[in-house]
Amino acid sequence: MTDRISLPKDRIRILLLEGIADSAVELFAGADYATVQREKRALEGRALIEAVKGVHILGIRSRTEVTEEVLEAADRLIAIGCFCIGTNQVALQAAARRGVAVFNAPFSNTRSVAELTLAEAVMLLRGIVDKSNAAHQGGWDKSAANSWEMRGKTLGIVGYGNIGSQLSVLAEAFGMRVIYYDHTAKLPHGNAHQAASLGELLRLSDVVTVHVPETPETIGMIGAAELAQMKSSAVFINNARGTVVDVDALAAALRDRRILGAAVDVFPEEPKRNGDPFVSPLQGLPNTILTPHIGGSTAEAQDRIGMEVARKLVEYSDTGATMGSVNLPNVQLPPRPTGARWTHLHRDAPGILSRINESFGRRGLNIAAQYYQTDSELGYVVVESVEARQEAEAILAELRALPGTVRARLIYERH
């Protein structure tokens, strides 16, 4: 796959799927990207393969799966923006091998998820859903049995990252005691403290909530054995990833009243689009809240996600900056008003950097600035020169011909 040299912005094609927020389109327009196609739905199969041909920047949310086959068909693709937290829907290593940077928004919906979690905790501890359903059907269940205040209760947070730590602060405002469990040591917020083990957290907590990513270590981390350690008066919340909880075991615990209730927003298998049937062993169980993966689905969160991901895509296209990429070495770059900038992504091996520098030294050209970062497989170098404008294309061709090159781009910066 090759790139055009200094491709004008009006010729850079951007495809946004799944109803990505207006804030993203406005940011692209403000950066002079005019060729933006939007689709409200996800695409799959042949439809997606055909749609990505000739596209330079692809924007998706969680339902569009970018497989190796899709990447193979994307003959102009330089970047993918996941307008959500997760990137599991993208074949990340396959994208990296093709020099396609993948960006996401790991922070923008943290408040929305934290607020939903607290609201669900209140509703579960008060048995609101069952009482509301009874009232809708003409019943009148006025009782304080199994109805509790949040104040003074213990919130156990499994995963103390961006969402977990913000939830910690909000929960203390309710007067809750907060404990957390994480596989790494984390600085606590407020008066929270780290549990010695997951088992300790489960035994002590009145509300257990999960906020971990999907990894080989977290898949199935909450099963029958873990649920059996919870108090019978405790409630369980999963607004993280559907695969981290054994839903059959959770359903059994709820049916047998081994725990008081549960709220689940994510499922191992979810419908691909609105209107498709949804089936779960958790349906119809007492004091159970089921929501259709809406933890981050607020207007504010979607606006923030649109701006965050679009900004990263624009910076990568305009300057070559990879900060925030989940699959390429991260290099932060200052903008330059003049001169030329080259980016070179390569399979990391000794001697590559010296060969790149030789392309300039052989021509008697000064390198004004150079930025370099590697990971376990790839190296990413950015070179700037004010003197090399006349030989920019020749240098680019030489960089592309170097052994191990994945992608080389030439980026002009003007006044």
The residues annotated as belonging to the active site are 241, 270, 293
204 near 178, Cβ under 8 Å?
no
Q: How far apart are CA 412 and CA 373, in angstroms?
A: 21
223 near 246, Cβ under 8 Å?
yes
Element (H, E) at 165: helix 162-173
In the block, tokens 């981050």 appear at 296
Q: Using the 8-state DSSP alphabet, how is residue 89 labeled?
A: T
Q: Using the 8-state DSSP alphabet, how is residue 100 labeled?
A: -
Q: How far apart are CA 25 and CA 120, in angstroms?
A: 33
- Angle, helices 110-126 vs 128-136, to 10°: value is 70
Q: How far apart are CA 378 and CA 348, in angstroms?
A: 5
Tokens representing 259 are 């725990």
**Reduced 3-state DSSP string for 10-75:** HHCCEEECCCCCHHHHHHHHHCCCCCEEECCCCCCHHHHHHHCCCCCEEEECCCCCECHHHHHHCC
177 near 188, Cβ under 8 Å?
no
153 near 207, Cβ under 8 Å?
yes
In the block, tokens 């928004």 appear at 105
In the block, tokens 């906020």 appear at 211
In the block, tokens 């020169």 appear at 385
User: What residues contact residue 368 under an 8 Å CB cut-off, 6+ apart?
Assistant: 336, 339, 384, 385, 386
